[in-house]
Amino acid sequence: MSPAPVLDSFLGMEVLSQPQLKRLKEHKYSAEGKSFAEPVMQVFWCWLVEQIPRTIAPNTITIIGLTANIISTLILIFYCPTATEMAPRWAYAFAALCLFAYQSLDAIDGKQARRTNSSTQLGELFDHGCDAVSIVYVSIGVCTAMQLGTHPWLSFLTCGTACFVYFTAHWQTYVCGTLKFGKLDVTEGQLGFCAVYLTAAFFGPDVWIKKIPFLDAEVKAVTTISGLLGSWFGIYNHVRVIFGGGKGRNGSTVADTSVITPFFHIGAVMLLYFTIWQKSKTAIFERQPCMYMLMFGMLSAKISIKLVVAHMTRSGINFLDTAFIGPGLLFLNQYLDTLISEDYVLWLALIWCTCDLIRYCIGLCNQVSQFLGIYTFDITSKPVPSEQRTGVTTRRQAKLAAQ
């Protein structure tokens, strides 16, 4: 028996309706544009994919890269919980290696799918979902490597901008139906983050606190602000596409919904992200920046994945989401004049948001894999699609009734 039905029963949830599943099956991947570094990296990626056995599923490649990325960031958080400490140099080198591995594996999973004739809508969905989680961990890892905890505003903006730029990239896709890449995009960003890690590894993490003489500013401040300006320019380009007219009726989204609708979701996340920080009487963000950013990162990842699902199924997005219970607990605790220690509530909120994201993703993958008649991490065998399985069951029941 396939483990999918068992897991789905355990989760007790159906993420998508039958009409959504049917539209998902009709979805075709569409992307355009190449960044400056991509043509050069393609040479390496094309060589790398040929070294991968054809029996390995594309989604397995993706999840291995994400796992490595998460582990390396958790190591940095362990050594630098407030993003002001200095981790051992090997931790930064390991983070750079894991990020480069993630970038490479993330780039070849699609190539592996094509060379094994296993390209599916689930693969695209799985890839974007892993990216939504990865951007959170990478941004936090960079904050620890540069010790941005000494400048709360910079660490706040770094993580918030990373999540926001990822959301707007898929927001524009939801509007125009095509994922558009700029000349400076995710490939260059990841290579830049690798450079940050390697700089800390080879020159020591204290290199970031040195001052640039003619600017009288710390290296980390100038570097971070430059990166933020580049990201904000990317957001500006996304917004131009969003308000330039959609693919749906009267310039609406692919789901024929208003192009403004997704703003309320990311706007609610950013409003809570800022308000809870500013209203905290115990300086929760300054004392627990990594946990705070991670909790909101998990919330942002979920709504980003829901936006990807909305695009691929050509459907609307429900504003209400159980993931908001996490930050809601922090907000309520502040409203009650910090009745419970904010540290405890923050950890509870982080656990809630993380478990809620995992539950949603597992339920989504199980449901889609059953409908498409595939396994998420196996391409050597295929189960019976849910449509056919339902039909077979109905015929058997009819035959028994006739007897």
User: Which are the catalytic amino acids?
Assistant: 128
Residue 179 pairs with which residues in a beta bridge?
Answer: 31
- C-beta atoms surrounding 31 within 10 Å: 12
368 CB-near residues (< 8 Å, 6+ apart)? 16, 21, 24, 121, 122, 125
Give the pairing type, strands 31-32 and 211-212.
unpaired
Q: Which helix (H) or strand (E) holds 32?
A: strand 31-32
Q: What Rg do the C-alpha atoms of the chain give, in angstroms? A: 22
Instruction: Give dist(CA 315, CA 309) in Å, integer.
Output: 8
Q: Which amino acid is at 264?
A: F
> Smallest Cα–Cα separation from 224: which of 151, 161, 158?
158
Task: Quote the CA–CA distance of 248 and 175 in Å, as a whole number.
Answer: 8
Q: Are 228 and 289 in contact (CB under 8 A)?
A: no
User: Buried (b) or exposed (e) across 248-258, using 16+ Cβ within 10 A?
Assistant: beeebbbbebb
Q: With left for phi above 0 and alpha for psi between -120 and 50, is residue 84 left, alpha or beta?
A: alpha
In this structure, what are the phi and psi dihedrals at residue 390, rounded to the nearest 5 degrees? -65, -40
Q: Which helix (H) or strand (E) holds 31?
A: strand 31-32
Number of neighbouring beta carbons within 10 Å of residue 340: 13
Nearest alpha-carbon partner for 180 in 354, 311, 278? 311
Q: What is the DSSP letter of 180?
A: E
Which residues pair with residue 212 across a beta bridge? 217
CA pair distance 185, 233, nearest whole angstrom: 11
Residue 153 to residues 157, 224, 367, 379, Cα–Cα distance (Å): 6, 11, 41, 46
Q: Which residues contact 355 (CB under 8 A, 6 or more apart)?
A: none
Q: What is the sign, positive or negative, of the torsion defined by CA atoms of 294, 300, 306, 309? A: negative
Residue with tokens 């131009």: 240
